[in-house]
Structure 1
Amino acid sequence: MTANDDSFTNWKNREEIAESMIPMIGKLHREQDVTILLHSRSLVNKSVVSILKTHRFARQIAGAELSVTETMPFLRALTTLDLGPSQIDIGMLAATYKSDDRGLTVEEFTADAVAGATGANKIDRREGRDVVLYGFGRIGRLVARLLIEKAGSGNGLRLRAIVVRGGGEQDLVKRASLLRRDSVHGQFQGTITVDEDNSTILANGNAIKVIYADDPTQVDYTAYGIKNAILIDNTGKWRDREGLSKHLRPGIDKVVLTAPGKGDVPNIVHGVNHDTIKPDERILSCASCTTNAIVPPLKAMADEYGVLRGHVETVHSFTNDQNLLDNYHKSDRRGRSAPLNMVITETGAASAVAKALPDLKAKITGSSIRVPVPDVSIAILNLQLAREASREEVLDHLRDVSLTSPLKRQIDFISAPDAVSSDFIGSRHASIVDAGALKVEGDNAILYLWYDNEFGYSCQVVRVVQHVSGVEYPTYPAPAV
């Protein structure tokens, strides 16, 4: 048998193992609210090839390829346990088992590592929490996709309604079509049908009422059976507490804004300051996509090295706020054609750092250039550190943060030498460290941070909503602090 034959046989064997993983992962998710992860990447509803690629990608960050033959025993062990709602990372189970010296079997080690999610320790499965989307643009539709995907057993977040202004004939059909197909993010994973008589979109069995209103005060959500809901405002029309309070109508309990909040509205970056949200807080903001991209790595660097000052330059995809062709715009430069120009503009991300990291005393400045790509941006974070460091030391630190720290869902790490922006479309992390571009000299470090300013940010929004709704389940093994 040739080497090629050996490689192909090995591939077919791994395909067979990955195929047998799918029903186990699906059953755990549907029946027990358990999400199986591999180095923070969900394996729920993934294909055979996707599961194998996710294992392969572990080589990029952990330095060694992870095989399904290594993770399968841990997944099989999980199916024998009385698990409660949780997220369990089989990649981390496999990695930590290798360094464990207690002589435990895989089954014994797994039971011990996830003990907080089993038996008397497991948390109760909660009643589903209603969610309403106010606005249905780029972020609104991506958040909708995520909520539908995460509906799982039906005990988590339930997208009940979308509120939009009436758009005329075929409005419902056109909005459903935009949810079904996206030029950047591809096809919706599932089926979508439209019930025009009842003004409803049915997506993977989820009945989503489309409510037409010109103003928040026109809607009584209880009339649609919606109660105690979290409303996600994707319009950005109202940014302060007074404006956002208009959403606090019958049936709505909390309001989450997908733009930087003004005044005393808390700006939340999940993974960094979401634990500061007060239980009685009814209005909060998820800050901006760029704030979510820079704050987690900034915290990681400040915690380890200290940061005296910094500057962030964002090279940002164009957005709907810009003109397709030259035309009047209230801003100085955004009226010039977005797909034809690089456009210097402002960013509030640097000033927003203070809201998310109030203990960081370093002055952070910022500027931005919009460029002719439809999605994925990069933030160049130039930091003066409180102590000197080497490039290798900083790389090792950021790699470890992406693998094992509480920020591993926010920070990803890539060492591919030929990575470009389109490679990160669909990334669920708030920020991806480009290892090859990192520069460190003495007390100066320059980080290049990719981010999908649409999808990665939408994932952060959903994480905040999960947290305030009480359906953010614990992760095992617990991240290192």
Structure 2
Amino acid sequence: MTVNDDSFTNWMHREEIAESMIPIIGKLHREQDVTVLVHSRSLVNKSVVSILKTHRFARQIAGEELSVTETMPFLRALTTLDLGPSQIDIGMLAATYRADGRGLSVEEFTAEAVAGATGENKIERRDARDVVLYGFGRIGRLVARLLIEKAGSGNGLRLRAIVVRRGGEQDIVKRASLLRRDSIHGQFQGTITVDEANSTIIANGNEIKVIYAGDPSELDYTDHGIKDAILIDNTGRWRDREGLSQHLRPGIDKVVLTAPGKGDVPNIVHGVNHDTIKPDDRVLSCASCTTNAIVPPLKAMDDEYGVLRGHVETVHSFTNDQNLLDNYHKADRRGRSAPLNMVITETGAASAVAKALPELKAPITGSSIRVPVPDVSIAILSLRLGRETTREEVLDHLRKVSLTSPLKRQIDFISAPDAVSSDFIGSRHASIVDAGATKVDGDSAILYLWYDNEFGYSCQVIRVVQHVSGVEYPTYPAPVA
């Protein structure tokens, strides 16, 4: 047998194992609300090839490939346990087991590592929490996709309605079509039908009422059977407490804004300050996509080295608030053609850092350039550190943060030398550290942070909503602080 034959035989063997994983992962998710992860990446509803690629990605971070032959025993071990709702990272189980020298069996080690999610320790499955989307633009439709994807067992979050202004004939059909197909993010994973008579979009069995209204004051959500709901405002029309509080109508319990909040509205970056949310907070902001991209790496660097000052330069994809061709715009330069120009503009991300990370005392300045790409941006974060270090030390620190720390869902890490912006479309992380571009000289560090300003940000929004709704289930093994 040739080397090529050996490689192909090995591939087919791993395909077979990955295929056998799918029903186990699906059953755990549907019946027990258990989400199976590999290095913080979900394997729920993934294909055979996607499962294999997710395992292989560990090579870029940890330096060696993770095989399904290593993780499958841990997945089988999970099926023997009385598990409650949780997220279980079989990649981390395999890695920590490899480093454990006690001679435990896989079954014994797994039972010990996830003990907090089993037996008397497990949390009860919660009733579904209603969610309403106010607005149905770029972020709204991606948030809708994520809510539908995560409906899973029927517990957790349940998208009940979207609120929009009527756009004309066949309005609901056209909105369903925009949910079904997206030029950047591709096809919706599932089926979508429209019930025009009842003003309902049915997506993967989820009945989503389309409510037409021009103003929050017109609405009583209890008329549609909605109660105790979280409303996600993705219009950006109101950003202060007074404006957003208009949404606190019958049936709505909390309001989450997908834009920077003004005044005393808390700006929340999940992974950094979501634990500061109080049970009686009814109006919250998820800050901006750029704030979400830079705050987690800033925290990681400040915790390890101290940050004395910094500047962020954002090279940002164009957005719908710009013009296709030159036309009037209230901003100075945004009226110029977005697909034809680089456009210097402002960013509030630097000033927003203080709200999300008040313990960081360093002054952070910022500026931004809009460029002719439709999605994925990069933040160039230039830092003066509290002590001298090396490039190797910084990269090793950020690699470990992306793998094992409480920020591992926010910070990703890539060492591919040929990575470009389109490679990060669909990333679920708030930002991705580009190892090859990182520069360190003594107490000066420059980080290049990619981020999908649409999808990655939408994932952060969902994490905040899960947290405030009480359906953010614990992860095992627990991240290393």
TM bucket, shorter chain: over 0.9
Matched residue, 1:295: 295
Matched residue, 2:17: 17
Matched residue, 1:157: 157
Instruction: Give secondary structure in 2 for the equivalent of 1:379.
Output: strand
Alpha-carbon displacement from aligned partner over 1:449-472 (angstroms, at most 9, x marks no partner) = 000000000000000000000000
Distance in 1, Cα, partners of 2:234 & 2:79: 39
Matched residue, 1:127: 127
Distance in 2, Cα, partners of 1:431 & 1:345: 21
Alpha-carbon displacement from aligned partner over 1:81-106 (angstroms, at most 9, x marks no partner) = 00000000000000000011111000
Matched residue, 1:190: 190
Alpha-carbon displacement from aligned partner over 1:263-300 (angstroms, at most 9, x marks no partner) = 00000000000000011000000000000000000000
Distance in 2, Cα, partners of 1:416 & 1:367: 27
Matched residue, 1:410: 410
Distance in 2, Cα, partners of 1:286 & 1:269: 6
Distance in 2, Cα, partners of 1:360 & 1:460: 21
What number of residue pairs does the alignment pair up? Answer: 481
* Mapping for residues 225-244 of structure 1, pairs under 5 Å: 225-244=225-244
Matched residue, 1:431: 431
* Mapping for residues 218-367 of structure 1, pairs under 5 Å: 218-367=218-367
Alpha-carbon displacement from aligned partner over 1:52-97 (angstroms, at most 9, x marks no partner) = 0001111011110000000000000001100000000000000000
Distance in 2, Cα, partners of 1:301 & 1:231: 34
Alpha-carbon displacement from aligned partner over 1:388-415 (angstroms, at most 9, x marks no partner) = 0000000000000000000000000000
% identical aligned pairs: 90
Instruction: Give secondary structure in 2 for the equivalent of 1:235.
Output: coil
The letter of the residue matching 1:5 is D
Instruction: Give secondary structure in 1 for the equivalent of 2:433.
Output: strand
1:478 is aligned to 2:478? yes
Q: What is the CA-CA distance between 1:305 and the residue it aligns to?
A: 0.1
Instruction: Give secondary structure in 2 for the equivalent of 1:340.
Output: coil
Distance in 2, Cα, partners of 1:413 & 1:190: 30
Matched residue, 1:466: 466
Matched residue, 1:139: 139
Q: What is the CA-CA distance between 1:258 and the residue it aligns to?
A: 0.0
Distance in 1, Cα, partners of 2:127 & 2:4: 52
Distance in 2, Cα, partners of 1:359 & 1:247: 32
The letter of the residue matching 2:156 is G
Alpha-carbon displacement from aligned partner over 1:348-391 (angstroms, at most 9, x marks no partner) = 00000000010111000000000000000000000000000000
Alpha-carbon displacement from aligned partner over 1:140-198 (angstroms, at most 9, x marks no partner) = 00000000000010111000000000011010000000000000000000000000000
Distance in 2, Cα, partners of 1:359 & 1:67: 40
The letter of the residue matching 2:209 is K
Matched residue, 2:43: 43
Distance in 2, Cα, partners of 1:167 & 1:343: 30
Distance in 2, Cα, partners of 1:268 & 1:87: 22
Alpha-carbon displacement from aligned partner over 1:99-123 (angstroms, at most 9, x marks no partner) = 1111100000000000000000000
Distance in 1, Cα, partners of 2:400 & 2:383: 20
Matched residue, 2:60: 60
Q: What is the CA-CA distance between 1:234 and the residue it aligns to?
A: 0.3
Distance in 1, Cα, partners of 2:325 & 2:23: 50
Matched residue, 1:172: 172
Distance in 2, Cα, partners of 1:169 & 1:372: 32
Distance in 2, Cα, partners of 1:357 & 1:222: 37
Q: Taking structure 1 as the reference length, what is the TM-score of the superposition?
A: 1.00
Distance in 1, Cα, partners of 2:404 & 2:52: 21
Q: What is the CA-CA distance between 1:130 and the residue it aligns to?
A: 0.1
The letter of the residue matching 1:237 is R
1:90 is aligned to 2:93? no
Q: Taking structure 2 as the reference length, what is the TM-score of the superposition?
A: 1.00
RMSD over aligned Cα atoms: 0.3
Matched residue, 1:205: 205
Distance in 1, Cα, partners of 2:320 & 2:371: 13
Alpha-carbon displacement from aligned partner over 1:289-344 (angstroms, at most 9, x marks no partner) = 00000000000000000000000000000000100000000000000000000000
The letter of the residue matching 1:319 is T
Q: What is the CA-CA distance between 1:252 and the residue it aligns to?
A: 0.0
Distance in 2, Cα, partners of 1:241 & 1:357: 20
Instruction: Give secondary structure in 1 for the equivalent of 2:197.
Output: coil
Q: What is the CA-CA distance between 1:347 and the residue it aligns to?
A: 0.0
Distance in 2, Cα, partners of 1:155 & 1:14: 32
The letter of the residue matching 1:352 is A
Distance in 1, Cα, partners of 2:44 & 2:97: 23
The letter of the residue matching 1:208 is I
Instruction: Give secondary structure in 2 for the equivalent of 1:81.
Output: coil
Instruction: Give secondary structure in 2 for the equivalent of 1:70.
Output: helix
Matched residue, 1:447: 447
Matched residue, 2:112: 112
The letter of the residue matching 2:63 is G
List structure 1 runs of 4+ shifted beyond 6 angstroms.
none
Matched residue, 2:396: 396
Distance in 1, Cα, partners of 2:99 & 2:298: 30
Distance in 2, Cα, partners of 1:219 & 1:185: 32
Distance in 1, Cα, partners of 2:128 & 2:70: 35
Distance in 2, Cα, partners of 1:293 & 1:420: 17
Distance in 2, Cα, partners of 1:70 & 1:359: 41
Distance in 2, Cα, partners of 1:85 & 1:393: 37
The letter of the residue matching 1:109 is F
Instruction: Give secondary structure in 1 for the equivalent of 2:388.
Output: coil
Matched residue, 1:372: 372
